[in-house]
Amino acid sequence: MANIKMAVEELHKAFHFLNKHKFNSELPEPAIVIQNQGKHKNTYGWCSIDPIWNDSEREEKKHEITICAEYLNRPLYQLMSTLLHEMVHLHNILNGIKDVSRGNTYHNKKFKQTAEERGLIITFNEKIGWSISELNEESKALIDTFDLNEEAFTIARMGFHAEGKAKKKSSMRKYICPECGQSIRATKEINVICGDCDVPFLLEETEDED
């Protein structure tokens, strides 16, 4: 029977294989965790910008790669695409390559370049940039050789609403000017132009409120 321990072990196993074949084993091992997506709506995973785990005995610090618990039971290729996507972010962070903006949600062409060099197919989305990822055929064939236990990924966290006890919530949207960083909040979708920069405000995040 699948459990979280199995899933984490298989994710670490996949990380080591991908690190070896796609990054010449140059990436330091991160803390790989499975957790609630929280405010990261419609996100499959993320990588911490800074090392946020500390091993006091070895005096080592680790970055964190999160795989969202709500999407853990996706098909293996999709799950591995998410893991490789976050490994690309880790590579870029360690090499001083700024690959995101707009609150770390919009992926630029630097991300696209590194990701495609590492075996991902990247397509464009207006809200999140060059972020939509899938494995290319070579990467799929490589994943097939890893002998991962796919049964470890048959479970996923149920969303709060699925439990049938959720309260009705309203959403507060945060908009930010991509040029000067000025922000505003609104309870509905709006179109606003920054009076100082003469550019449209961009939706940065949506916050649910009781």
Question: Same domain, yes or no, for 45 and 136?
Answer: yes
Order of strands across the sheet with 170-176? 183-186, 170-176, 202-209
The three-class DSSP label of residue 15 is helix
Question: Same domain, yes or no, for 156 and 187?
Answer: no
Question: Does 24 have pLDDT greater than 60?
Answer: yes
| pLDDT, position 171 | 66
Host domain of residue 195? 168-209
Question: Same domain, yes or no, for 60 and 156?
Answer: yes
| pLDDT, position 65 | 98
Q: Can you say how many angstroms the Cα of residue 15 is from the centroid of all Cα atoms in its chain?
A: 15
Question: Same domain, yes or no, for 113 and 157?
Answer: yes
Q: How many degrees, rounded to 5, is the angle at CA 197 between CA 110 and CA 89?
A: 20
Domain boundary among 121, 142, 161: 161
Share of the chain above pLDDT 90, in %: 67
| pLDDT, position 205 | 60
Minimum mean pLDDT range among 34-43, 89-98, 110-119, 158-167: 158-167
pTM of the full structure: 0.75
Sequence-ordered list of residues with C-beta below 8 angstroms from that of 181, at least 6 positions apart, any chain: none
Name which residue leads in pLDDT, 127 or 175: 127
Using one digit for the tens of pLDDT, what is the confidence trace for 159-171? 643 333 444 455 6
Question: Same domain, yes or no, for 109 and 200?
Answer: no
Question: Same domain, yes or no, for 22 and 59?
Answer: yes
Question: Same domain, yes or no, for 182 and 101?
Answer: no
Dihedral sign (CA 33, 35, 37, 38): negative
Kindly write down the DSSP assignment for every residue of 131-179, as one continuous string.
Answer: EEEEE-HHHHHHHHTS---GGGGS--PPPGGGGT-PPP-EEEEEEE-TT
Helix (H), strand (E) at residue 64 = strand 64-68
Question: Same domain, yes or no, for 192 and 152?
Answer: no
- How much is the average pLDDT of 155-182? 66
Question: Which position has the token pair 């899938």?
Answer: 134
- How much is the average pLDDT of 108-124? 98
Using one digit for the tens of pLDDT, what is the confidence trace for 28-59? 999 999 999 887 777 999 999 999 999 888 78
Q: How many domains does the chain have?
A: 2
Question: Same domain, yes or no, for 104 and 174?
Answer: no
CA dist., res. 9 & res. 93, Å (int): 24
Using one digit for the tens of pLDDT, what is the confidence trace for 191-204? 778 777 777 877 77
Question: Same domain, yes or no, for 40 and 139?
Answer: yes
Question: Same domain, yes or no, for 106 and 183?
Answer: no
Dihedral sign (CA 23, 142, 149, 161): positive
